Amino acid sequence: MNSYIYYNDKILPAGTPLVSADNRGLRYGDGLFETMRVVKGQIVLETYHFERLFAGLQLLRFQLPVLFTPAHLEAAVLELCRKMKIETAARIRLNIVRGSGGLYDPENHQPNLIIEAWPLDPPRQLNENGLHIDIYDQVHKPVDILANIKSNNYLPYALAAVHAKENRLNDCLLLNTHSRICDATIANVFWVKNGDLFTPPLSEGGIAGVMRRHLIESMAHGPTGVKEDVLTLQTLAQADEVFLTNAIQGIKWVGRYRDSSYTNKVATTVFNSFVQPLWS
């Protein structure tokens, strides 16, 4: 399969050099990204992805051209998928950076758009083996206006992922500056206690996950809604179930955290009812 990338309205061979040494995305992490799933020629949870992205662009003071719209980005994503013949099922990384220049003198505030795509098979069922996780406590994530966006400045998560790999873990949870759990390296965290389902509020500093939002809104009027509450290390250890969510994997249930082990009854029900139908 020939691989391509999309860069500022052009489709180029993958590996084409795109940025100079003074690119602000490279220098300062000045930008945002979205990771999305395409199924049967449609972006799954498209509205949620673009609402989060454009809210972040506004927060970072990008100046958007008139034609730089969700519809334009959707068309670009699907054009790349068609070019690569993977529109049936694909993983997308959409990256936006400010461009070149110094800290005080960017050449402009226009968005530079980079899209990558890979073929992807959707999981047909919940993971059979529970994840093994732990806490990464060497960096505490600030709770500020940048906490909920998917910034290109991703160092806390990158270091947590390195820690997980070095210690043969499937993932690590991150702590905020209050020493409470905010999210995982590439996912939001949910837990179950006595039949109730919880997730940390966004005020705890986690990424405003698209799958997280989908579950909260989809389950709001059902018999078991999602409650928002702080997640401490003690609460995590005493939970009945723990699972992680993101837009690509949907739900991954956690089998073990240190001396605690978990079941997956609720995670299975949530996956079958609210995640799997998205990929059918």
* Separation of alpha carbons 165 and 176, rounded Å: 21
Among the listed ranges 87-96, 216-225, 243-252, which one has the minimum average pLDDT value? 216-225
Q: State the pLDDT confidence band at 105, using cuts at 50, 70 and 90.
A: confident
Average pLDDT of the chain to the nearest whole number: 94
What 8-state DSSP symbol labels residue 259?
A: T
Q: How confident is the model at residue 137 (pLDDT cuts 50, 70, 90)?
A: very high
pLDDT of 255: 98
Nearest to 265 by CA among 217, 184, 195, 200: 195
**Cα–Cα distance, 11 to 98 (Å, whole number):** 20
Higher pLDDT, 99 or 165: 165
The pLDDT value given to residue 123: 67
4 pLDDT tier (thresholds 50, 70, 90): very high
Angle at 48 between CA 43 and CA 54, to 5 degrees: 105
CB 181: neighbour CB atoms within 10 A? 23
Task: Tell me the mean pLDDT in the region 96-107.
Answer: 85
What distance in Å separates the CA atoms of residue 194 and residue 157, rounded to the nearest whole number?
Answer: 30
Q: Which amino acid is at 156?
A: P
How large a percentage of the chain has pLDDT more than 70?
99
Q: How many CB atoms lie within 10 A of CB 160?
A: 28
**Rounded distance between C-alpha atoms, residue 264 and residue 128, angstroms:** 10
> What is the per-residue burial (b if ≥16 Cβ within 10 Å, else e) of 229-266?
eebebeebeebebbbbbbbbbbbbbbbbbeeeebebeb
CATH says 4-119 is which class? alpha beta
CA–CA separation, 210 and 182 (whole Å): 15
Ramachandran bin of 157, using left for φ above 0, alpha for ψ from -120 to 50, beta for the remaining angles: alpha
Per-residue pLDDT at 214: 97
The DSSP element (H or E) to which 253 belongs, if any, is strand 250-257
Q: What does the pLDDT read at residue 99?
A: 85
- Per-residue pLDDT for 15 more than 70? yes
Whether pLDDT at 125 is above 90? no
Phi, psi of 131 (to 5 degrees): -70, 150
pLDDT at res. 102: 83
Local confidence band at 139 (pLDDT 50, 70, 90 cut-offs): very high
Whether 41 shows a pLDDT value over 80: the answer reads: yes
Give the position of tokens 């995982």.
184
Residue 1's pLDDT is: 64
Query: Tell me: the pLDDT tens digits for 203-228?
Result: 999 999 999 999 999 999 877 789 99
For residues 38-60, average pLDDT: 96
In the chain, what are the domain boundaries?
Answer: 4-119, 131-279
pLDDT band at residue 2 using 50, 70 and 90 as cut-offs: confident
pLDDT, average across residues 56-74:
95
Residue listed under structure tokens 């060497």: 138
Query: How far apart, in Å, are the Cα atoms of 132 and each of 253, 254, 261?
Result: 9, 6, 9
Confidence of residue 22 (pLDDT cuts 50, 70, 90): confident
Mean pLDDT of 256-279: 95
Phi then psi for residue 68, to 5 deg, are -85, 85
- Average pLDDT of span 237-261: 97
Nearest to 20 by CA among 93, 95, 109, 101: 101
CATH architecture of 131-279: Alpha-Beta Barrel (3.20)
Residue 122 has pLDDT above 80, yes or no: no
**Residue 119: predicted pLDDT:** 95
Could you give the CA distance from residue 280 to residue 278 in angstroms, rounded to a whole number?
6
Alpha carbons 177 and 155: distance in angstroms, whole number = 15
Q: Environment class of residue 106 by beta-carbon count within 10 Å: exposed (0-12), middle (13-18) or buried (19+)? A: middle
